[in-house]
Amino acid sequence: MSNTRIASYVEENAARFIDELKALVRIPSVSTLHEHKGDVRQAAEFLVAQLREQVGMNIVELVETAGQPLVYAEHLGAPGKPTILIYGHYDVQPADPVELWRTPPFEPTVEGEDLRGRGAVDDKGPMFATIKALETLMRVEGALPVNVKVLIEGEEESGGESIEAYVKAHPERLQADCVLVLDTGMVERGVPTISYGLRGIAYAEIVARGASQDLHSGVYGGIAPNPLQTLAWVLTDLKGRDSRVNLPGLYEMMQPLAPKEQAALARQSKLQERELMTSGGLSVLPGEEGFSVAERAAARPTFEVHGIRGGFTGEGAKTVIPAEATAKVSLRLVPGQKPETVLELLARRVRELASPGIALEVRPLHGGDGALLPLDSPVLKIAAAALEEEFGREVAFMREGGSIPVVALFDSVLHAPIVMLGFSLPDDNVHAPNEKFYLPNYYAAIRTVATFLKRL
Amino acid sequence: MSNTRIASYVEENAARFIDELKALVRIPSVSTLHEHKGDVRQAAEFLVAQLREQVGMNIVELVETAGQPLVYAEHLGAPGKPTILIYGHYDVQPADPVELWRTPPFEPTVEGEDLRGRGAVDDKGPMFATIKALETLMRVEGALPVNVKVLIEGEEESGGESIEAYVKAHPERLQADCVLVLDTGMVERGVPTISYGLRGIAYAEIVARGASQDLHSGVYGGIAPNPLQTLAWVLTDLKGRDSRVNLPGLYEMMQPLAPKEQAALARQSKLQERELMTSGGLSVLPGEEGFSVAERAAARPTFEVHGIRGGFTGEGAKTVIPAEATAKVSLRLVPGQKPETVLELLARRVRELASPGIALEVRPLHGGDGALLPLDSPVLKIAAAALEEEFGREVAFMREGGSIPVVALFDSVLHAPIVMLGFSLPDDNVHAPNEKFYLPNYYAAIRTVATFLKRL
């Protein structure tokens, strides 16, 4: 009955909910790029205004940090009822390559049932859905059914140091009976999904330095060290054609995967493979032999190159031997693999791989722990029931290949069950051009969160 | 005696000669970048005006081509005397990385005895010195002592297709008793140098294509093909840590180096090594084992990576697996190795190196033949004498590691001896930031060319 009222409120306000989300997506809050510092702050202020004016929470703060501001809010008006901490992030990935977007990345555009724009689904859409769920409950019920704390960060895409410091400094303020996170994906469209595992991440730059300046290959070809060539050797040594990561100690650190879970992942694989190939425009999913796609995508460590800078990359020909070249790389990590330790292994190994005349350096950019959450908490069952009611299908439980470092921190500091409800689709182009949010999932997320909170 | 008059004229007009060269360097005639098409043309027009008004040659033409215009001039006023064809190029390399220049690349700046600016020494300075030599002779002698043809191109840095077509189409127009080229280097400051060998070049892009769009390494790490990783494998397969170029057939095509020349190169090596290390800011000159530095720098084929494009190379972290990545590479070639054949070998080999899910393509950008010129022509002796008189030291004969494709063409089409007088210094930063021309070499070049022409 009151579910009907929730649904009606969402339906009546659907147009405004989209307009507000568009206003948020319009703010280019790219946390990794210094020139967007003002935009990042503006996005935080937008959320403060929403939580204060639209939801009407008792306490709403813009928390200054050494980096990007945090948004914190609380409304503890349900004595005797459980307390929930809702997490999300308002920062987004850079938009490049901008030329591949069909519409400008920060001009949110509705096309069919999708809202396209950088950050639409990662994580502005799902995060904002939790705020709209709170608003819905306030307006429909006149109050929130549980005690609510909200913590939204602006550095999820660039290290998350500030929220880490804040959580460690204020464990009592953030104390809760459960944590809700909307920043993960669905197995496929229409299949309600709860993620119980996240990979960790270790991100670094490998810098190769040769001559004191760029050289002409006519004069120096064959005699000068070439930093780009050395990077090619190093990247090949770190990961050969068999896709094994050659970082001594890396695989030894892994917590072994239980045979039961390995089998479950293998079964899940069939479903995922088709979807992943279609979404990525791929005809094969190559990688380590002897592991299913689902296992490789979520339960194995990886090494990926994200970009190589150095030399001439413009139109035409320039015969330069660059003085310096840099590769951006990251490893996704599974339980047992600590980012700091892995970054040390990487630095040590890369130093061993230097070639005559080239100095190699590993510059760590950021790291975050993975997480593996228990599947037997009562709140997870309530969340699953709310999801199943919304989608009319059984919930799929999956391990996510991506990383949300703060989840591991919540797990270790707050000791409360964490619920990760997925609303992004495999074809939503997360971190890629033409990122989008499937709008039916926006409304589904608002309704599901509202229902979940009512039932807690 | 008339040498004194040449020297006096050069001295009296030194300030104007610098101003004119600065005006030429100021024009950003970067032939490989489409946006500079107008500038390239402007540089050609500048030379047309110089040859017409300052030198006063009989015929001066801006020759339209499919690419950048050629400048052609002739003054055949010395019947019974030999005819000389003077070659040069007015186009320049791109200026990037622009941020490493101490002064803007196209704002020519005199500092001490150097004129700094892109193209100052490659090849605007030396090429313009030949024009100033003609002017000097005209003014001092009232006429040119020999018949002179001038052909200056605007595509030396970007393939040279237009001059190739022109030379093949007009061999009779260009017929000459010798060809003069000022576009090579000196062994070291103060050592007059004639180059008798040039390496050829084969320049290409290796394109690796994976997914239909950029992917997120959280979702696709470990299962999607990564074009940057495949490029690393391919570049490593093409050249391993032993610096051998693994292109089956490449070394087999080489004309063997005579033991006498190999020994001469080994002797020259000592002198060059110190200079090359100082100029490049290098403490080692790594490369193929078993060959002297001078031999590796000029008489061995090479494989160099000039740039890798793809993925995210901005500030901070972006966890993208790019859909596509491109490496710019070139091989320097020695006599016997035809660029077209080498580009075919490269394309064939790269196709074999593909990895699952990655399509590899070799896109040839340009090629040019090397040259090995006889050392016994009478004109070479006259040129050497003029150089020795100017510098007061014995001439060094060297093989140049760089490429001037049109020289091989002149050799095969015109069958006239070619004289390459070097005026660039090892520390002139050819093709690199802070390119400069050592101004005493500018005046030396003008005087030497004038003297050489008088004695022909």
Whether residue B229 and residue A235 make contact (CB cut-off 8 A), yes or no, is yes
What value does the mean pLDDT of chain A take?
A: 94
pLDDT at B407 over 70: yes
Whether residue A281 and residue B426 make contact (CB cut-off 8 A), yes or no, is no
Amino acid at site B239: K
Q: Which of A392, A391, A395, A398 is nearest to A381 (CA)?
A: A395
In a domain, B282, yes or no: no
A97 preceded by a cis bond (ω within 30 of 0): yes
| pLDDT 10s digits, A368-423 | 899 888 888 899 999 999 999 999 999 988 888 888 888 989 998 999 999 999 99
pLDDT of residue A219: 87
Which of B280, B305, B321 has the CB atom closest to A215's CB atom?
Answer: B280
pLDDT at A2 over 70: no
Range of the domain at A357: 200-259+298-367
Which of A185, A215, A296 has the CB atom closest to B223's CB atom?
Answer: A296
User: Mean pLDDT across the stretch A438-447?
Assistant: 98
Residues A174 and A302 in one domain: no
Among A318, A329, A355, A358, which would you mutate to test the B interface (most chain B Cβ atoms within 10 Å of its Cβ)? A318
* Residue at which a domain ends, from B368, B401, B428: B368
Whether residue A356 and residue B100 make contact (CB cut-off 8 A), yes or no, is no
Global pTM?
0.84
Rounded Cα distance between B165 and B68, Å, is 12
Using a CB-CB distance cutoff of 8 angstroms, which residues of chain B are in contact with residue A306? 217, 228, 311-312, 317-322
pLDDT of residue A59: 97
Whether residue B312 and residue A311 make contact (CB cut-off 8 A), yes or no, is no
Q: For residue B217, give Cα distances in angstroms to A112, A199, A373, B81.
A: 27, 11, 22, 72
Among A219, A288, A343, A355, which would you mutate to test the B interface (most chain B Cβ atoms within 10 Å of its Cβ)? A219
| pLDDT 10s digits, B191-213 | 999 999 999 999 999 999 999 98
Residues A164 and A48 in one domain: yes
Using a CB-CB distance cutoff of 8 angstroms, which residues of chain A are in contact with residue B323? 281
Whether residue B212 and residue A282 make contact (CB cut-off 8 A), yes or no, is yes
Among B305, B326, B331, B429, which would you mutate to test the A interface (most chain A Cβ atoms within 10 Å of its Cβ)? B305
Which of B231, B280, B332 has the CB atom closest to A212's CB atom?
Answer: B280
Q: Which of B111, B74, B91 is nearest to B25 (CA)?
A: B91
- For residue A412, what are the contacts with CB-CB under 8 A and spacing of at least 6? none
Residues A383 and A361 in one domain: no
In a domain, A91, yes or no: yes
Among A217, A236, A282, A427, which would you mutate to test the B interface (most chain B Cβ atoms within 10 Å of its Cβ)? A217
Residues A148 and A10 in one domain: yes
Of B432 and B114, the structure prediction assigns the larger pLDDT to: B114
In a domain, A272, yes or no: no
Q: How far is A436 from chain B (nearest CA, A)?
A: 14
Whether residue B219 and residue A365 make contact (CB cut-off 8 A), yes or no, is no
Of A398 and B14, the structure prediction assigns the larger pLDDT to: B14
Do residues B95 and B106 touch, judged by C-beta distance below 8 A? yes
Phi and psi at residue A371, to the nearest 5°: -150, 150
Whether residue B214 and residue A400 make contact (CB cut-off 8 A), yes or no, is no
| pLDDT 10s digits, A301-349 | 999 999 999 999 988 888 899 999 999 999 999 989 999 999 999 999 9
Interface A-B: count of C-beta contacts within 8 A: 359
In a domain, A375, yes or no: yes
Amino acid at site B36: H
Whether residue A285 and residue B221 make contact (CB cut-off 8 A), yes or no, is no
Which of B229, B317, B432 has the CB atom closest to A215's CB atom?
Answer: B432
Using a CB-CB distance cutoff of 8 angstroms, which residues of chain A are in contact with residue B185? 219
Using a CB-CB distance cutoff of 8 angstroms, which residues of chain B are in contact with residue A159? 317
* Residue at which a domain ends, from B313, B335, B368: B368
| pLDDT 10s digits, A22-60 | 999 999 999 989 999 999 999 999 999 999 999 999 999
| pLDDT 10s digits, B218-242 | 889 999 999 999 999 999 999 999 9
Residues A99 and A118 in one domain: yes
Domain count, chain B: 2
Q: How far is A76 from chain B (nearest CA, A)?
A: 35
C-alpha B424: how far from its chain's center? Answer: 11
Which of B31, B288, B305 has the CB atom closest to A228's CB atom?
Answer: B305
| pLDDT 10s digits, B25-71 | 999 999 999 999 999 999 999 999 999 999 999 999 999 999 999 99
Torsion on CA atoms A318, A321, A323, A325, rounded to nearest 10:
80
Whether residue B302 and residue A215 make contact (CB cut-off 8 A), yes or no, is no
Residues B30 and B135 in one domain: yes
Which of A228, A403, A426 has the CB atom closest to B308's CB atom?
Answer: A228
In a domain, B272, yes or no: no
Of A150 and B403, the structure prediction assigns the larger pLDDT to: A150
Which of A214, A222, A280 has the CB atom closest to B297's CB atom?
Answer: A222
Residues B13 and B136 in one domain: yes
Whether residue B282 and residue A315 make contact (CB cut-off 8 A), yes or no, is no
Residues B233 and B316 in one domain: yes
Question: Which range has the top average pLDDT, B76-90, B247-261, B277-291?
Answer: B76-90
Residues B210 and B168 in one domain: no
Q: How far is A153 from chain B (nearest CA, A)?
A: 17
Percent of chain A predicted with pLDDT > 70: 100
Residues A228 and A312 in one domain: yes
Whether residue B231 and residue A228 make contact (CB cut-off 8 A), yes or no, is no
Residue B333 pLDDT class (50, 70, 90 cuts): very high
In a domain, A448, yes or no: yes
pLDDT at A1 over 60: no
Whether residue B226 and residue A313 make contact (CB cut-off 8 A), yes or no, is no
Whether residue A319 and residue B431 make contact (CB cut-off 8 A), yes or no, is yes
In a domain, B314, yes or no: yes
In a domain, A292, yes or no: no
pLDDT of residue B2: 54
Q: How far is B379 from chain A (nearest CA, A)?
A: 26
Provide the 8-state DSSP code for A239. Answer: B
Determine which helix (DSSP H) or strand (DSSP E) holds A325, and give its type and residue range: strand A324-333
Among B209, B217, B329, B362, which would you mutate to test the A interface (most chain A Cβ atoms within 10 Å of its Cβ)? B217
Q: How far is A353 from chain B (nearest CA, A)?
A: 10
| pLDDT 10s digits, A175-211 | 999 999 999 999 889 999 999 999 999 999 999 999 9
A35 by Cβ neighbours in 10 Å (0-12 / 13-18 / 19+) ranks as exposed
Residues B424 and B304 in one domain: no
β-sheet bridge partners, residue B206 = B327, B362
Whether residue B315 and residue A96 make contact (CB cut-off 8 A), yes or no, is no
CATH number of the domain within which A233 lies: 3.30.70.360
Residue A274 pLDDT class (50, 70, 90 cuts): confident
Which of B96, B222, B307 has the CB atom closest to A302's CB atom?
Answer: B222
End-to-end CA distance of chain B: 17
- For residue B328, what are the contacts with CB-CB under 8 A and spacing of at least 6? A311, A312, A313, A317, A318, B203, B204, B205, B305, B306, B307, B308, B309, B365
pLDDT at A223 over 50: yes
| Count of beta carbons in the 10 Å neighbourhood of residue A280 | 28
Residues B142 and B68 in one domain: yes
Q: Which of A119, A111, A136 is nearest to A32 (CA)?
A: A119
Residue A279 pLDDT class (50, 70, 90 cuts): confident
Helix (H, G, I), strand (E, B) or coil at A97: coil
Do residues B10 and B446 touch, judged by C-beta distance below 8 A? yes
Whether residue A231 and residue B232 make contact (CB cut-off 8 A), yes or no, is yes
Using a CB-CB distance cutoff of 8 angstroms, which residues of chain B are in contact with residue A265? none
* Residue at which a domain ends, from A342, A367, A392: A367
Q: Which of A104, A129, A111, A181 is nearest to A21 (CA)?
A: A129
Q: How far is B288 from chain A (nearest CA, A)?
A: 8
Whether residue B319 and residue A304 make contact (CB cut-off 8 A), yes or no, is yes
CATH number of the domain within which A149 lies: 3.40.630.10
A427 preceded by a cis bond (ω within 30 of 0): no
| Count of beta carbons in the 10 Å neighbourhood of residue B38 | 10
- For residue A83, what are the contacts with CB-CB under 8 A and spacing of at least 6? A76, A146, A147, A148, A149, A175, A176, A177
Percent of chain B predicted with pLDDT > 70: 100
The position carrying tokens 């005087």 is B447
The position carrying tokens 């009907």 is A4
| pLDDT 10s digits, B315-330 | 888 889 999 999 999 9
Whether residue A240 and residue B233 make contact (CB cut-off 8 A), yes or no, is yes
Which of B223, B286, B288 has the CB atom closest to A357's CB atom?
Answer: B286
For residue B356, give the chain A residue with the closest CA: A286
pLDDT at B1 over 80: no
